[in-house]
Amino acid sequence: MSKTLLFTSGLIIIWIVGYLLIVGSHVLIPFVIAVFIWHLLNTISNIIQQIPRIGAFLPNWLSMIVAFAITVASTFIFINIITDNVNNVIAASSRYQENLLKIFNNIDQKFNIKVLTSMNTIIKSLNLQTIFVNVYGVFTTLAGSTVLIFLYVVFLFVEQHFFLKKIDALFPTLEGRMLMNNIISHIVNNTQTYLGLKSILSIGTAISSWIIMKWVGLDFAEFWALLIFFLNFIPNIGAIIAIAFPTALAALQFTSWIPFIEIILGLGAIQFIVGNLIEPRYLSNSLNLSPLVILIALAVWGAIWGILGMFLSVPITVMMMIIFAHFEKTRPIAILLSQDGDVFKTYELLPMENLPEQDWVQY
């Protein structure tokens, strides 16, 4: 097969896959969420079993029940914070809109910049309450898929016991099983490392931001802290949005500019320290993804699956790089996706003698 024909076939396959991802988003998104919940529960269960003294004595079913209880409790806390604060934001949106008009009018009168008066028409036509209702609708739509996601998670746990037998049937040779073991192990380890470290850093960022917002007296500090936690999972632009929303509210809530400056400097300092000093030290070596690739993946998956695609852009790209690195013909793609081009040492196949013949998959 000529290179031109191979390249054309590749483009056609990419187009078909992209089209199916967009058209089938209503079916695929709940399933992808279920897969990550299933993976999260397994990760929490493994962490519980690694607790000193007591973890080793806990049976698998008990650690899984504890993991499920932790996940459900956290979800209820998140839902309560979102519901209470979003309703308050919607109720207070008209007051913030009036304050925004006053700010523009004051600037217009003080600096005699007549062009700002045209902003009144834009602000009046901008219905903040409708915007907040639409944002709230995203959460309600996700809640509407809860039953389907729950069923997917249940059946994933049922199927989990048959994964080994299915892969044994798909790859009857030891070499094939070794390859799958290497791919699965790297995917599980890297995604667990990313999600674990990112969660810890996001929790620290959210708590630090909440302390500053409470100290300044910003409205809905709990809601903004929760939003900052989730936005930190969106690479690059998530940190910008996490600063923009509370800062904009500070400008609308307070008559003085001092709280506005305190919020933007405080939250900006936290995001800078975490994003530029702490996060690269712990995540860059484990992921080895090019920053440019992360930006492109963010744009592509955001265009395909919206906000959820932005959240999943890094884990999906990491999985793609791991898979590409394990095959000689696709290894150049993995090199392009990587930060330093060194994918051979990180994802090289394990020697055959180092793998037991039966226990070859690690979840």
Q: Of 144, 161, 178, which marks where a domain is finished? A: 161
Task: Kindly state whether residues 42 and 157 are assigned to the same domain.
Answer: yes
Task: Kindly state whether residues 105 and 145 are assigned to the same domain.
Answer: yes
Which pLDDT tens digit goes with each residue over 216-233?
A: 998 888 888 988 998 898
Task: Kindly state whether residues 312 and 257 are assigned to the same domain.
Answer: yes
Task: Kindly state whether residues 98 and 225 are assigned to the same domain.
Answer: no
The count of domains in the chain is 2
Decide if 3 is inside a domain. no
Q: Of 126, 161, 196, which marks where a domain is finished? A: 161
Share of the chain above pLDDT 90, in %: 9
Task: Kindly state whether residues 193 and 329 are assigned to the same domain.
Answer: yes
Decide if 5 is inside a domain. no
Which pLDDT tens digit goes with each residue over 109-127?
A: 776 665 555 555 555 555 5
Task: Kindly state whether residues 178 and 149 are assigned to the same domain.
Answer: no
Decide if 260 is inside a domain. yes
Task: Kindly state whether residues 142 and 180 are assigned to the same domain.
Answer: no
Task: Kindly state whether residues 148 and 177 are assigned to the same domain.
Answer: no
Dist. CA 250–CA 226, nearest whole Å: 17
Task: Kindly state whether residues 304 and 224 are assigned to the same domain.
Answer: yes
Share of the chain above pLDDT 70, in %: 83
Q: Is 0.75 surpassed by the pTM of this model?
A: yes
Which pLDDT tens digit goes with each residue over 83-97?
A: 777 777 777 777 777
Decide if 7 is inside a domain. no
Which DSSP state fits 256? S
Q: What is the pLDDT of residue 78?
A: 81
Decide if 207 is inside a domain. yes
Decide if 347 is inside a domain. yes
Task: Kindly state whether residues 193 and 332 are assigned to the same domain.
Answer: yes
Decide if 1 is inside a domain. no
**Which domain range does residue 243 map to?**
170-363
Task: Kindly state whether residues 221 and 127 are assigned to the same domain.
Answer: no
Q: What is the mean pLDDT of residues 140-157?
A: 80
Decide if 287 is inside a domain. yes
Q: Of 130, 161, 192, which marks where a domain is finished? A: 161
Task: Kindly state whether residues 292 and 335 are assigned to the same domain.
Answer: yes
